[in-house]
């Protein structure tokens, strides 16, 4: 028996069957059902609902804000993961536990909290309003909420990789006269790049489908602060099921294509940087 076919758990075929069954019930059947339901409607009608001006504005806002939020998390999350993995300081365990806070906090509670804090009369919003900056009911509020919910994905993807980095390579670079910036660019960053891409992809995917926290911060004003998930909910509330299905299909297809592109880039970078 080859090494690849060996397993530490008995009943490989049985566990594989349960895995495929679970994935089928949770992922394949719902997604397939969406396509089956869409096939029952005329294509021209679905295209009209999916490509009208309101829907396109919602796509642009959703993917644009998600891309910005995931990019912010890729930078800030790398910095936070490095500090938590490399340094010992008072309150480190508490700070590390707080990273998972967005996972445990209901998204509606997070959105309501952010809305109260950054409202023009809130603690932080009043200071920003004095500078002429409005966060609530704007795209800035959407980016803020998406950054909040996506940060843990980047940090948790990077922490194991940073902890496994060999200090000898950094010490060797320093002994050869390399300054810290050069060492980070040429020694550390290539090793972290695949993990950063993984965290970026997960944060981006989380942001595209986020609804609960965004709706309180940004509202649901068409062409201004209406994200695509909110547009789907609006269609459902008005019993316009074809419109909801059309927008959901566009989100699903675009998200799958973007995640596939990121995964291919991650594989290429892993092979290229070896």
Dump pLDDT digits (tens) for 133-144.
Answer: 888 888 888 999
Span 50-66, mean pLDDT? 91
Whole-angstrom Cα distance, residue 179 to residue 155? 25
DSSP per position, 60-74: HHHHHHHHHHHHHHH
Stretch among 70-74, 164-168, 242-246, 268-272 having the lowest mean pLDDT: 268-272
pLDDT range class, residue 49, cuts 50, 70, 90: confident
Is pLDDT of 174 > 70? no
Amino acid 262: pLDDT: 74
Enumerate domains of the chain plus CATH numbers: 43-107+136-272 (1.10.3720.10)
What pTM, to 2 d.p., does this model score?
0.82
Choose from 4-18, 68-82, 98-112, 129-143 the range with maximum mean pLDDT: 68-82
Amino acid 169: pLDDT: 64
Tell me the CA distances in angstroms from 117 to 24, 111, 168, 171, one per residue in order.
Answer: 42, 10, 45, 44
Span 182-197, mean pLDDT? 76
pLDDT range class, residue 75, cuts 50, 70, 90: very high
pLDDT range class, residue 1, cuts 50, 70, 90: very low
Note the Cα 108 to chain centre separation in Å: 17
Q: Which two tokens stand for residue 219?
A: 């509202």
When the pLDDT of each residue in the chain is averaged and rounded to a whole number, the result is: 82
Region label for 10, one of left (φ > 0), alpha (ψ between -120 and 50) or beta (otherwise):
beta
Whole-angstrom Cα distance, residue 78 to residue 36? 41
Note the Cα 244 to chain centre separation in Å: 22
Tell me the CA distances in angstroms from 159 to 85, 147, 155, 265, 268, one per residue in order.
Answer: 6, 18, 6, 21, 22
Is pLDDT of 27 > 50? yes
Is pLDDT of 3 > 60? no
User: 135 and 65 in contact (C-beta within 8 Å)?
Assistant: no
Region label for 222, one of left (φ > 0), alpha (ψ between -120 and 50) or beta (otherwise):
beta
Other beta carbons less than 10 A from residue 119's beta carbon: 19
Nearest to 66 by CA among 223, 216, 257, 203: 203
Cβ partners under 8 Å of residue 67, min gap 6: 204
């Amino acid at each position: 028996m080859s090494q690849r076919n060996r397993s530490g758990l008995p009943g490989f075929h049985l566990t594989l069957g349960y895995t495929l069954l679970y994935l089928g019930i949770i992922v394949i059947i719902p997604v397939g059902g969406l396509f089956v339901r869409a096939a029952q409607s005329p294509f021209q009608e679905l295209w009209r609902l999916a490509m009208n001006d309101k829907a396109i504005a919602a796509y642009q806002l959703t993917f644009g804000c998600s891309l910005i939020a995931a990019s912010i998390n890729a930078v800030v999350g790398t910095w936070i993961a490095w500090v938590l993995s490399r340094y010992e300081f008072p309150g480190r365990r508490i700070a590390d536990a707080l990273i998972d806070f967005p996972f445990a906090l209901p998204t509606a509670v997070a959105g309501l909290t952010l809305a109260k804090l950054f409202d023009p009369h809130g603690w932080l919003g009043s200071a920003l309003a004095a500078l002429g900056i409005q966060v609530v009911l704007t795209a800035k509020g959407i980016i803020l909420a998406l950054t909040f919910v996506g940060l843990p994905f980047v940090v948790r993807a990077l922490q194991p990789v940073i902890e496994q980095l060999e200090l000898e390579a950094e010490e060797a670079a320093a002994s050869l006269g390399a300054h810290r910036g050069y060492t980070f660019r040429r020694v550390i960053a290539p090793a972290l790049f695949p993990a950063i891409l993984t965290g970026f992809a997960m944060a981006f995917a989380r942001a595209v489908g986020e609804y609960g926290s965004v709706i309180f911060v940004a509202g649901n004003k068409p062409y201004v602060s209406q994200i695509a998930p909110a547009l789907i909910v609006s269609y459902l509330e008005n019993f316009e099921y074809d419109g909801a299905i059309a927008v959901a299909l566009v989100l699903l297809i675009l998200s799958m294509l973007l995640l596939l592109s990121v995964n291919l880039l991650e594989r290429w970078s892993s092979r290229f940087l070896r």
